């Protein structure tokens, strides 16, 4: 995990004062290119890590070797914890390291660092959408969550002033959970056209727990997205590809006598299932329900009428 390496890199710099990319690569058992990218990432994020060229050079943590992070200012400490990523995705070792780093920070910075480490929840189970880039608005929204500042959003053709509570990264799809005058709402970040972080203090319930809230949101979304289930037959070697299309809505049932695998796939309507399966042609056979089979037949007729020559 990259976050583990970044923590290890920072601690190694503190212990030695100066390291080369080659030394770091050997210590962490990674490539030199990866070590160099990690060092550059720390520097870009605002951590005082700088390269020194020439003989005897390398990468140094400004201020020399230290055993704590008291040399970091508020912006730098917040940048580090935002860079490390979702606390919910951390390994036990990283969680322990984060706690030690928080304790090492000056008391005035601890609240920001702790809030930054808990600003995002990570959910690796996707909904079948692939290849999306991280939206540019994620960073300012993270800052708003950490600083507890209200955000003015342009979303769905409307402007809203919201209290940002946390962000969720669902396998590359980002969501903002926020308080609104109409109650708690979830906004898909790539559909937010504008986001202005205001200087107004945001309200945040004392008992708010981001992982628990996100679990509730996912459960509600799943009920809306999974109203129709179809059973299909497919060769086992194609099952991993089918899973990329349907995400968690793809559940193998068991092998068939002819060597194929029976799989259940789900979506919010028969047409959605048919549209995702149409490109598979004869590689997939829909066994049930009849509504999905009928939608596939309709799509087939449309394609035949359009592409069959006179």
Say if residue 52 is in the same domain as residue 76: yes
Say if residue 106 is in the same domain as residue 130: no
pLDDT of residue 154: 94
Q: What token pair was written down for 90?
A: 């951390």
Domain range for 167 is: 123-211
Contact by Cβ (8 Å): 235, 212 = no
Alpha-carbon distance of 35 to 5, in angstroms, equals 9
Q: What token pair was written down for 28?
A: 């962490």
Last residue of a domain, one of 72, 96, 118: 118
Torsional sign, CA 158, 221, 120, 212: positive
pLDDT digits (tens, 9 = 90+) for 187-205: 999 999 999 999 899 998 8
Residue 41 inside a domain? The answer is yes
Is the pLDDT score of 232 beyond 80?
A: yes
Contact by Cβ (8 Å): 261, 235 = yes
Say if residue 113 is in the same domain as residue 147: no
Say if residue 10 is in the same domain as residue 99: yes
CATH of the domain at 237: 3.30.70
pLDDT digits (tens, 9 = 90+) for 5-56: 776 777 677 767 778 888 888 887 888 888 888 887 777 666 667 777 766 6
pLDDT of residue 15: 65
């Amino acid at each position: 995990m990259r976050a583990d390496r970044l923590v290890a890199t920072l601690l190694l710099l503190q212990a030695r004062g100066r390291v080369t990319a080659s030394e770091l690569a050997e210590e962490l058992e990674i490539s030199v290119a990866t070590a160099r990218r990690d060092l550059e990432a720390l520097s870009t994020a605002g951590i005082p890590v700088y390269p020194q060229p020439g003989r005897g050079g390398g990468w140094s943590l400004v201020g020399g070797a230290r055993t704590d992070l008291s040399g970091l200012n508020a912006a730098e400490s917040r940048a580090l914890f935002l860079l490390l990523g979702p606390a919910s995705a951390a390994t036990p070792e990283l969680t322990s390291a984060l706690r030690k780093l928080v304790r090492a920070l000056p008391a005035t910075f601890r609240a920001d660092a702790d809030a930054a480490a808990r600003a995002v929840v990570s959910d690796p189970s996707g909904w079948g959408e692939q290849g999306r880039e991280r939206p540019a608005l994620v960073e300012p929204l993270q800052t708003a969550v950490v600083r507890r500042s209200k955000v003015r959003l342009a979303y769905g053709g409307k402007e809203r002033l919201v209290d940002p509570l946390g962000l969720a990264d669902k396998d590359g799809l980002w969501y903002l959970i926020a308080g609104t005058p109409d109650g708690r709402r979830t906004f898909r970040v790539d559909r937010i056209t504008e986001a202005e972080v205001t200087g107004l203090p945001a309200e945040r319930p004392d008992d708010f727990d981001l992982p628990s809230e996100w679990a509730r949101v996912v459960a509600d979304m799943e009920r809306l997205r999974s109203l129709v289930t179809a059973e299909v037959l497919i060769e086992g070697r194609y099952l991993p590809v089918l899973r990329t299309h349907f995400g968690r809505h793809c559940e193998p049932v068991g092998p068939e006598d002819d060597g194929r695998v029976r799989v259940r796939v789900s979506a919010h309507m028969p047409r959605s299932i048919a549209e995702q399966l149409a490109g598979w042609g004869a590689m997939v056979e829909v066994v049930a329900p009849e509504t999905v089979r009928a939608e596939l037949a309709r799509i087939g007729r449309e394609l035949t009428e359009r592409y069959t020559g006179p």
